[in-house]
Amino acid sequence: MLVFREQRIKPQQQIAFSRRFGPLRIHVLNDFQLAGFPDVLIVSNIKEGGTPIGLGDAGAFWHSDLSYMEQPSLGRTNTRPMTRCPRH
């Protein structure tokens, strides 16, 4: 895992970067796509008003990247912008 701290990228930039690793695939769970950007799946354990803002168990079985597909989207496994970080 590589971590690039203090990066503020726009969805278009994340998508462009991810495409450098190959074509992207839209995730089968569309409940947590970023509005206007179906290529971006929101992965989060945060709830607002009791409702999850993203796919909370995405890392539980390591399938948020569609790695179970015959041709997984390699770019999706490589980009995970973190907008909120827990304190140490």
What was the pLDDT predicted at 78? 44
In a domain, 33, yes or no: yes
In a domain, 88, yes or no: no
In a domain, 74, yes or no: yes
The pTM of the full predicted model, rounded to 2 decimals, is 0.68
In a domain, 83, yes or no: no
Instruction: Give me the DSSP letters along 19-76.
Output: HTTS-----S--TTEETTEEEEE-B---EETTEESSBTTTTTTT-TT-TTSSS--HHH
Instruction: Please count the structural domains in the chain.
Output: 1
What is the span of the domain harbouring residue 32? Answer: 11-78
Distance CA 44, CA 50 (A): 13
Q: What confidence category does residue 60 fall into, taking pLDDT thresholds of 50, 70 and 90?
A: low
In a domain, 56, yes or no: yes
pLDDT tens-digit readout, 10-52: 889 988 988 888 888 888 878 888 999 998 888 888 888 999 8
Better-predicted residue by pLDDT, 31 or 65 = 31
pLDDT tens-digit readout, 67-81: 666 776 665 544 555
Distance CA 13, CA 16 (A): 5
